[in-house]
Structure 1
Amino acid sequence: MLKPLMKERLIQKYSLDMGEVFFFENYLIIEVAEGICFNHEKATELSLLTNLHFGNRPFGYISHRINSYSLKPTDYMKIREVFPNLAVFVVVAYTTAQEISVKIERIFYHDKIMIFETLEMAVASVKKCLELETQEK
Structure 2
Amino acid sequence: MPKSIEEEKIVQIYDLEMGKVIFYENYLVIEVAEGICFGYEKAKELSALTNLHFQNRPFGYISNRINSYSIEPTDYMRIKDVFPNLKAFAAVVYNRVQQTSINIENMFLQNGITTFQDLETAQTWIKAELE
TM-score by length of 2: 0.95
Distance 2:116 2:20 in 1: 19
Partner in structure 2 of residue 70 of structure 1: 70
1:43-54 alignment runs, 5 A limit: 43-54=43-54
> What do residues 79-107 of structure 1 show as CA deviations (whole Å, max 9, x unaligned)?
00000000000000000000000000000
SS state at 1:127 partner: helix
Q: Let me know the Cα RMSD of the aligned residues.
A: 0.7
Name the SS of the counterpart of 2:108 in structure 1: helix
- Could you tell me how far apart the structure 2 residues matched to 1:6 and 1:35 are? 30
Classify the secondary structure of the residue corresponding to 2:7.
Answer: coil
Mapped partners of 2:82, 2:89: distance in 1: 13
Matches within 5 A, 1:1-137: 6-131=6-131
How many residues in Structure 1 have an aligned counterpart in Structure 2? 127
**In structure 2, what is the equivalent of residue 135 of structure 1?**
none
* Residue deviations 1:74-132 (CA, integer Å, cap 9, x gap): 1000000000000000000000000000000000112121000000000000000001x
Structure 1 residue identity aligned to 2:101:
S
Gaps of 5+ in 1: 132-137
TM-score, normalised to structure 1's length? Answer: 0.91
In structure 1, C-alpha distance between the alignment counterparts of 2:35 and 2:80, rounded to whole Å: 25
- Counterpart of 1:112 in 2: which secondary structure? coil
